[in-house]
Structure 1
């Protein structure tokens, strides 16, 4: 659903940019708590969340390269807002998607630069807010089990995609550069993005479920959901003895981080070659309804990595795979650097001030 330049007029694009900038600013403040370990989530530390956040951004970048068919001549790809929010928190999730969109726009000419505010608002803010609100509501009423986290993640991701399609249509209704009936655009956008939402839900559920299965403590949305184990002794329920300490090597998130990074590299560097070549939902609707008549050439069209290929490498498999690997690498480095910086800022702000003892 990457909106190119020319779909939305300049005033509305600027307004969306202001909204996106405000959302990012608010998210930076909120992410300090999520990454620093002083959020409402029982105080789990940022030493776990910060490295995972950079990986989540890189993983979303990789999976977004894997377009999957949803209808005749139409494909879809992960938006990632629900996945990011559930894994690392809603504020950090907005930042994850923003990093991905920025890398895609600057390096790969994917998503217009003047439309960056629109894309962050639609793909980042809306998906995260809708998905996380629904997710929290569901895990509150569902049984306090790990399975409830995966079920809630499926539903949240499913709804977040058509919600983003509705918001794009609203933005188009205000600032669209073509004269196409808004009702037609809304019907087409919601229809195809409900199907894409199913794919988004499956990917989100499987990914969240995989992490919850091995390290539930790393999943932001799963924190505090495990009810204490009870044993019946003499007809009364008592707390079970504390579990034996887990060896440090098993507790380290490095294994999960390394596994996730390798998976992202394989997806972007190899599996992406087999992705659907059909236009995604927005591209298909734009072509069918004529809202792409005023589309503009991307400012980064001459980038060495434009269109997810390395310039001057003729072999499509090698070119696309190498571009994907570079993209994952750049995103994980940029994302991790940003999130560590945010966490360090929180640590500095939270550090107690030394008061000299009185003589």
Structure 2
């Protein structure tokens, strides 16, 4: 069951629950579309396309996390950091829809479930963690990296928790308690989140160093240079 938490296939969640989350996904994506249009400019359009293509390609590649278990990038934290929550959620939604419709990665009937978990919960959770972390951490390369790293891990676990909720509402019988299943899923996705965090933190900090104006989380401000030991001694004197 652990490998079904993301990109949910058919017949894992019953029809009524899938329909409810499909409606939630439609309403939420519509809301994101309206909100994203308010802040959309010519600079964000090509970046959104590049981010979508990168997330799509990265989701097709699995990385090992334990014996017999692998994971892949969700992209919610990456999209949130570069594009903000509204446009970021839309980009991840496009990726999920293409994978379901053209590559059968996740059932079409579960498209709403997957969009809620991977595009909405993951992206908005990542953005919330990132915004809070950047209020505490210095806006240096390492401060941003730590913030993105934490946001990515939390976003993956939150997305898998969304699946646990959906399974509780309308999942098939699996012969084990919900608590045991939830512990296995959440624990495994902590490891998936670490893999995602490494990739996401590296990608976002690389963009931030070269073009801080393209990182939504920084609001266009360049990264501060970490004080060297000589500078610290000079200030103290």
Normalising by structure 1, report the TM-score: 0.59
Alignment of 1:76-87 (within 5 A): 76-87=71-82
Number of equivalent positions? 219
Quick one: distance in 1 between partners of 2:211 and 2:172? 48
Specify every segment of 5 or more residues in structure 1 that has no aligned partner in the other structure, as ranges: 36-45, 230-359
1:114 aligned counterpart, secondary structure: helix
Q: Which residue of 2 aligns with 1:110?
A: 105
User: Which protein shows a greater Rg?
Assistant: 1
Residue 224 of structure 1 deviates from its aligned partner by 4.9
Partner secondary structure for residue 74 of structure 2: coil
Q: Does 1:31 align with 2:36?
A: yes
Q: Does 1:92 align with 2:90?
A: no
Could you tell me which residue of structure 2 aligns to residue 9 of structure 1? 14
User: CA offsets, 1:30-69, max 9 Å, x none?
Assistant: 111231xxxxxxxxxx111111001111100001111000
Instruction: Confirm or deny: 8 A CA contact 1:102 1:116 kept in the other structure.
Output: yes
Indicate which of 20, 25, 30 corresponds to 1:20.
Answer: 25
1:34–1:92 Cα contact (<8 Å) kept: no
What TM-score comes out, normalization by structure 2 length? 0.89
Following superposition, the deviation at residue 223 of structure 1 comes to: 1.3
Residue 176 of structure 1, aligned match among 171, 186, 190: 171
The structure, 1 or 2, with the larger RCO (C-alpha pairs under 8 Å, 6+ apart) is: 1
Where in structure 1 do 4 or more consecutive aligned residues deviate above 4 Å?
224-229
Q: Determine the C-alpha separation between the residues in 1 that align with 2:111 and 2:148.
A: 27
Aligned-pair Cα RMSD in Å: 1.5
The structure with more helix, counted as a fraction of residues: 2
Indicate whether 1:214 and 2:219 are aligned.
Answer: no
| Partner residue in 2 for 1:259 | none
Cα deviation code 1:196-231 (max 9, x no counterpart): 0000000100100111111110111111544899xx
Gaps of 5+ in 2: 1-5, 226-237
CA deviation vs aligned residue, 1:156-214 (integer Å, no higher than 9, x gap): 00111111111101110110022542112101101110000000000100100111111
The equivalences for 1:179-258 within 5 A come to: 179-180=174-175, 181-226=177-222
1:140 counterpart = 2:135: yes
